[in-house]
């Protein structure tokens, strides 16, 4: 199930150029390219003539030319040229999609274009703020349902078992989580007090003793998740007051875009407010984050294989599943509401 009236990340900005780029988003084939003004365009990746993917063609000026018979389509999706004939048949067009470039990503609206509201794109301002250093983003192609990624991000107890070499310590589960539910948001909060820093924080923060850590994960319907994580020397923060100004802060921005029911494009990026301009810190953080995500890929794809093998078998929920369950309920509520309109 997919929510259509929403913005999904379709590509990194540098991926979209004068060469057609194919994506499948929410089971719909899409082709992206740039016109002569450099603006990104998205059309249905299926010629209305004989159904060849338009991504197999080429960009001609501001138009996309089909690679089979040379039909040309403008950025609205209308066929404007057919070699060898002057008259354009009625219905000779393909679907077009609203696009917005923001935060170094290209966002696509898969639903009703009249409802495309740019204010619904999350305000991840730290991507471009001078007090924050953006670590280069990337994306992974995963053979799993996008909701499994949301589950994974909202349940950071798995760090103790999957990511002990980077983000995990074996005492995470000693500290309870708090789940908050708002209209279009689920938040998971955990404070880990007076414990050794995990390997990644130790390497980047140069802590001398134990630390206080925070994990604040916020998921917005349908599947955008931001993580606010950080650490400071023990005793220098008060969980009752929320995330402190002191210590090191990392923002993790996660945009899983469903390709099909069992495959996902997983876009993510990270920003930090320490060691600004330090290239080595950026490289180390990117390396360790990439290792962490590679470990998650093994888990998520293995889950999907088992779920496909026995799709009707019940699963058992435990306490740490509460945020993920709330996010799934929020998504189903929104899909049901969309289907009624």
Position 31 in a domain:
yes
Which among 92, 119, 146 is the end of a domain?
119
Flag whether 1 is in a domain: no
What is the pLDDT at residue 244?
94
Q: What is the pLDDT of residue 226?
A: 97
* 3-state SS, one letter per residue, for the chain: CCCCCCEEEEEEHHHCCCCCEEEEECCEEEEEEECCCCCEEEEECCCCCCCCCHHHCEEECCEEECCCCCCEECCCCEEEEECCECCCCCCCECCEECEEEECCEEEEECCCHHHCCHHHCCCCHHHCCCCCEEEEEEEEEECCCHHHHHHHHHCHHHHHHHCCCCCCCCCHHHCCCEEEEECCEEEEEEEEEEECCCHHHHHHHCCCCCEEEEEEEEEECCCEEEEEEEEEECCCCCHHHCCCCCCEEEEEEEEEEEEECCEEEEEEEEEECCCCCCHHHHHHHHHHHHHHHHHHHHHHHHHHHHHHHCCCCCCCCCHHHHHHHHHHHHHHHHHHHHHHC
Where a domain ends, among 88, 119, 150? Answer: 119
Domain shared by 204 and 290, yes or no: yes
CATH number (domain holding residue 114): 2.102.10.10
Measured distance CA(153)–CA(321) in Å, rounded? 11
Looking at the structure, tell me whether residues 71 and 35 fall in a common domain.
yes
Whether 124 maps to a domain, the answer reads no
Residue 326: closest CA among 150, 186, 155, 223: 186
Q: How far is CA 34 from CA 1, 18, 94, in A?
A: 30, 5, 17
d(CA 98, CA 110): 8
Please say which residue of 119, 148, 179 terminates a domain.
Answer: 119
Number of domains forming the structure of the chain: 2
For residues 173-187, one letter each, b for 16 or more C-beta atoms within 10 angstroms of the residue's C-beta and e for the rest, the string is eeeebebeeeeeebb
Tell whether 278 is covered by a domain: yes
Within a domain: residue 51?
yes
Residues 191 and 104 in one domain: no
Q: Please report the pLDDT score of residue 326 as a whole number.
A: 98
**127 in a domain, yes or no?**
no
**Are 196 and 332 members of one domain?**
yes
What is the residue range of 59's domain?
7-119
pLDDT the model gives residue 206: 80
From CA 273, how far away is CA 132, in angstroms rounded?
5
Q: What is the spatial order of strands in the sheet that 96-97 belongs to?
A: 21-25, 28-34, 40-44, 96-97
CATH of the domain at 259: 3.90.380.10
pLDDT tens, position by position, for the chain (341 residues)? Answer: 899 999 999 999 999 999 999 999 999 999 999 999 999 999 999 999 999 999 999 999 999 999 999 999 999 999 999 999 999 999 999 999 999 999 999 999 999 999 999 999 999 999 889 999 998 778 999 999 999 999 999 999 999 999 988 888 888 989 999 999 999 999 999 999 999 999 999 999 888 899 999 999 999 999 999 999 999 999 999 999 999 999 999 999 999 999 999 999 999 999 999 999 999 999 999 999 999 999 999 999 999 999 999 999 999 999 999 999 999 999 999 999 999 87
Same domain, 199 and 311: yes
N- to C-terminal Cα distance for the chain?
A: 16
Mark whether 296 and 164 lie in a shared domain.
yes
**Cα 313 versus chain centre, distance:** 28
Q: Do 12 and 78 lie in a common domain?
A: yes
20 and 160 co-located in one domain: no
Does the pTM exceed 0.85?
yes
Residues 111 and 184 in one domain: no
Q: In whole angstroms, what separates CA 225 from the centre of its chain?
A: 7
Question: What pLDDT score does 295 carry?
Answer: 96
Same domain, 235 and 321: yes
With beta carbons less than 8 A apart as the criterion, state whether 61 and 49 touch.
no
Neighbours of 39 (CB within 10 A): 13
- Tally of CB atoms within 10 A around 294: 10
Regarding whether 284 and 233 lie in a shared domain, the answer is yes
Establish if 126 belongs to a structural domain.
Answer: no
Same domain, 294 and 158: yes
Residue 55 is assigned to a structural domain of this protein: yes
């Amino acid at each position: 199930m997919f929510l259509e009236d929403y913005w999904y990340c379709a590509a990194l900005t540098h991926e979209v150029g004068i060469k057609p780029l194919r994506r499948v988003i929410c089971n719909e084939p899409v082709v992206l390219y740039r016109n002569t003004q450099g603006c990104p365009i998205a059309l249905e990746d299926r010629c209305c003539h004989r159904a060849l993917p338009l991504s197999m063609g080429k960009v001609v000026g501001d138009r996309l030319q089909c690679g089979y018979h040379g039909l040309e389509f403008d950025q609205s999706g209308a066929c404007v040229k057919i070699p060898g004939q002057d008259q354009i048949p009625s219905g000779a067009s393909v679907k077009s999609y609203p696009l917005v470039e923001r935060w170094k990503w290209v966002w696509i609206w898969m639903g009703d274009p009249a409802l495309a509201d740019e204010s619904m794109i999350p305000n991840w301002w730290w991507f471009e703020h001078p007090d924050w250093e953006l670590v280069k983003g990337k994306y992974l192609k995963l053979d799993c349902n996008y909701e499994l990624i949301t589950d994974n991000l909202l349940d950071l107890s798995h760090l103790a078992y999957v990511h002990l070499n980077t983000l995990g310590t074996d005492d995470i589960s000693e500290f309870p989580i708090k789940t908050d539910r708002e209209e279009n948001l689920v938040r998971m909060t955990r404070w880990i007090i007076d414990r050794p820093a995990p390997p990644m924080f130790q390497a980047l923060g140069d802590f001398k003793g134990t630390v206080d850590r925070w994990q604040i994960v916020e998921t917005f319907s349908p599947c955008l998740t931001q993580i606010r994580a950080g650490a400071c020397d023990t005793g220098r923060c008060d969980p009752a007051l929320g995330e402190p100004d002191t210590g090191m802060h990392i923002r993790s921005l996660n945009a899983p875009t469903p390709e099909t029911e069992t495959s996902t494009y997983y876009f993510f990026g990270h920003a930090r407010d320490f060691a600004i301009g330090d290239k080595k810190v950026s490289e180390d953080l990117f390396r360790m984050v990439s290792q962490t995500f590679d470990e998650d890929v093994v888990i998520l794809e293995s889950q999907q294989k088992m779920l496909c093998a026995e799709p009707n078998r019940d699963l058992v929920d435990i306490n740490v599943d509460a945020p993920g369950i709330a996010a799934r309920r929020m998504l189903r509520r929104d899909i049901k509401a969309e289907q009624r309109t």
